[in-house]
Structure 1
Amino acid sequence: MTIVGMNHFTVLTAALEDTVRFYTEVLGFETGARPPFAFPGARLYAAGAPIVHLVAVDALPAPAAGVLDHMAFSATDLRHVTSHLRRRGVPFHLGRQAGSGVWQLFLHDPNGAKIELDFDPLEPQPPEM
């Protein structure tokens, strides 16, 4: 067996509408087709692929984060993203990866799932830093 790539992440949520709104309005995902499962949820797409699967539950398990620490996405336009997050009041932490210089921006979704956005090291520093 050879792993050839990541297929998707599944996020459990007790607040489906808020979570869909976060991923679409804050991170720019698009909602898309979802199989007719017997349980509520949503599929969120990036570049035509269903990257984040949301499953609605009555209550989140404890601890909510489980054993996975975070999910990471490649992103572009660091200056726009940081301005967008500030306007929406979404807290984040921005730093540079040692050695590579990759910009790493960390934030959390409404369910507490940690998200990393990685930006090319050549992108200009946001003016707010």
Structure 2
Amino acid sequence: MNHFTVIAEDPQKTLDFYVGLLGLKQGHRPDLGFDGAWLYGEAPQAILHLYFDRPTPAQRAGVIDHMAFTSKDLKSVKARLDASGIRYDLRQQAGAGTWQLFCHDPNGAKVELDFPSAETP
């Protein structure tokens, strides 16, 4: 997988969610002739592209159900989501024990955050 792209209805709320709450970093984006942002995790390649210049579709999720990110520091992420009033569903995967936290970004995209089984909520 190279990256996902999200059409952002509200650019600032979208950046606040992915950068402020989830910890991605806004980085280099070439001049593509339209407004947007590229967000990075720990890898040198952008993993999430944001469009700021397009109308959001009526069917928000389309055929993609969700995007998932490998994450760390479950307690801290939960605290930030709680403080921001963002609802989420936390469950522990049977077998592997991976903690899976599901929520929605400000545009309606479903996001899964996967934490190691050794972490505690």
User: CA contact under 8 A between 2:7 and 2:54: conserved in structure 1?
Assistant: no
Can you give the 5+ residue segments of structure 1 that lack an aligned partner in the other structure?
1-5
Q: Percent identity?
A: 49
- TM-score, normalised relative to structure 1: 0.87
Distance 1:90 1:106 in 2: 10
- TM-superposed deviation, 1:49: 2.8
Letter in 1 for 2:100: Q
**Could you say which structure has the larger radius of gyration?**
1
Instruction: Indicate the SS of the match to 1:85.
Output: helix
Can you give the 5+ residue segments of structure 2 that lack an aligned partner in the other structure?
none
Residue 109 (1) aligns with residue 105 (2): yes
Which of 47, 50, 54 is equivalent to 1:54?
A: 50
Moved over 4 A (4+): none
- TM-superposed deviation, 1:57: 3.4
- TM-superposed deviation, 1:26: 0.8
Letter in 2 for 1:68: I
Residue 34 (1) aligns with residue 21 (2): no
Residue 16 (1) aligns with residue 16 (2): no
Count of equivalent residues:
120
Q: Which residue of 2 aligns with 1:3?
A: none
Aligned-residue CA RMSD in angstroms? 1.2
Distance 1:15 1:80 in 2: 25
Distance 1:64 1:53 in 2: 16
